[in-house]
Chains A and B, each alone.
Chain A
Amino acid sequence: MSIDTRTYSRYADQVAKKALNALLDAASAPEAYRGAMVVLGRQLGDVLEREVSEESTCLVASTAEDADFLAHGVLETLQIKHKNTLTAVFWNNHYSIPGGSVAPIVHKFLQPGYEKADSLIIVKSVISGSCVVRTNILALIEKLINIKHIYIVSPVMHSKSEQNLQEEFPEHISSLFKFIYFAKDSTKDADGEVKPGIGGQIYHLLGLSEQPAKSSFVPEVVKRLAGIM
């Protein structure tokens, strides 16, 4: 699938564009793919460092498959000025049902103290139908009593995802959204995958056998923070 129709945001510098292309080139090379995701995470973290006030307490929430790569990169740069940034990780079982999909949370890691965060940063490798993003926002939103901002952060989004996500939430929540992304693609395949997007299904590209919810995969960041190395 061509990237000719891809549009880039004002945040997409040459490093980000190169890393986006590297994802597409590394479809059968998990190590290279993981590296490109970390680079993209760092670049997105750079943007966040500029956007999020230094006084903010941040909570970076990701799926288990993104935790050690894209979210790890985000944390690396975000934590330069936001040293008290907290982590949440969700194991979603994302599957199709008649008329759409659901992504119930099977397991989760919530770093103790996460409730005090005032900036929620949802990190996702690609946003297509936004089912996973919506589910994970819903899992956290009522527990974050000081919430002021919700940053939805992704290298690639489908062109309609931003509007769809805004429309899914009541105004008192959607008014907190700020979308930070590098590229938008306007094509999806029959399975709902954004094309060219990130090159396919994230689990396989990262070298994972299946969705983490369907295995015993625990990201390194969770092992470290929960003290189960």
Chain B
Amino acid sequence: MSVTEFVKGKYGSAAAVYLAHIRRGGDSNQKGTAYEAFYAAAKIFELAANPSNELHDFSISSQDIAFVDDLCVRQISIRAKTNYQAKNSSGAPANWDAEMEVRFRRQLEIDTEFHEVNISTQVLLVSCPIKARDNESKIPSDLKERCYSEYFPYQDTSTTRLLCDFQPLRSNLEALCGSSDLSLLDSAFKLVLAIWGTDADRPRMVDDILGRAKALGKPNIFVDTVIERTEVPSWLLEKCYTFNNVTVRVESASFIVSYNGLEVGLACNVVTPDSDEIGTLSTPMQFLNFLMRKNAAEALIGTEK
């Protein structure tokens, strides 16, 4: 049985027609799609930045056939399902009203009876903090445990403005990238948005999305896990010690070799070079040139402007 057939049987034909209408509205709302995509990316970062989460346990999808249909996050192991209705508005469309209440109540029932989830939660996502607060006060007491309104800023299509405007997003990205460099965080955000925008209409695992974003990054800018940090390999550390003023540190997913203001990046998964080859490098310039070539060959292949 499909969701639509279930809805028709439980709520009648008019409800099934309304469900189809909701889906068509979602397909045509490009402005809303950008807002939803930014929130989806932010949710992926939030889940991934929490070290207690197993990312293969979470799936995320958009525009499901549902009364609360903009985004759906599932935690498979505990059969939890959270649906989001996104309204990038501070006006009436973002209100918790009678129609919204019907949709949220129905979705709770569909999740429990049709999808057979243990924990169903419905969220009204709005781009105005005052509206979110007002909505919270309107949600009936019998729904408060399973429904709420959440604020998430709308910044059109600008990742940069959203990063500057929304600290929780930035904090999560800093944890995932191992850096507070705004240029790097902005690139990481765009990589996940790019993956999210590809084939967004089917449920995908969060670890798969992040893995593909990592692969798309040239160089990779996501650290392996939030709590693990890579150590500088001995061949690199020892070679740096042989020159005055050459230092090495770990930043994001790279080793940064520095000399008088010049910082050369080397991917953390760099292949150990032949010791004879390293031995021939007798000046800082030769050494830094070698690292640049090595990084280009190993970490930047497959990128075209």
Contacts and interface: CB of A to CB of B under 8 A. Distances in A.
Interface of A: 93-112, 134-136, 138-139, 141-142, 167-170, 173, 191, 201, 211, 213-218, 222-223, 225-228
23 contacts: A94-B305, A95-B305, A96-B305, A97-B194, A98-B194, A100-B194, A102-B190, A104-B183, A104-B219, A107-B263, A107-B265, A109-B263, A135-B186, A135-B187, A138-B160, A139-B182, A142-B182, A170-B164, A214-B300, A216-B289, A226-B261, A228-B283, A228-B285
A170 B182 CA distance: 13
A111 B262 CA distance: 8
Nearest to A90: B183
Nearest to B158: A168
B54 to A, nearest CB: 27
A109 B261 CA distance: 5
A94 B183 CA distance: 13
A59 to B, nearest CB: 12
Contacts, number: 130
Nearest to A95: B303
Contact of B187 (A96, A104, A226): A104
B216 A97 contact: yes
A104 B217 contact: yes
Q: Give the 10 A-B residue pairs with the shortest CB-CB distance, closest first.
A: A95-B303, A138-B183, A139-B183, A216-B292, A216-B289, A226-B260, A97-B194, A138-B182, A98-B194, A228-B285
B284 interface: yes
Interface of B: 156, 158, 160-161, 164-165, 180-184, 186-187, 190-191, 193-195, 197-198, 216-219, 221, 259-265, 283-285, 288-290, 292-293, 295-296, 299-300, 303-305
Nearest to A100: B190
Contact of A134 (B160, B193, B197, B304): B160
A214 B265 CA distance: 12
A112 B261 contact: yes
Q: Tell me whether chain A's interface is mostly helix, strand or loop, or mixed.
A: mixed
Nearest to B289: A216
Given A95-B305, A104-B217, A214-B300, A226 B190 contact: no
Given A106-B265, A225-B261, A93 B300 contact: yes
B194 A141 contact: no
A93 B303 contact: yes
Contact of A228 (B164, B288, B293, B295): B288
Given A97-B190, A106-B295, A214-B296, A228 B158 contact: no
Nearest to A136: B183
Contacts of A110: 261, 263
B160, B259, B284 pick with most chain A CB within 10 angstroms: B160
Nearest to A92: B183
Contacts of A142: 180, 182
Given A100-B190, A106-B300, A109-B261, A215 B183 contact: no
Contacts of A222: 262
A228 B160 CA distance: 35
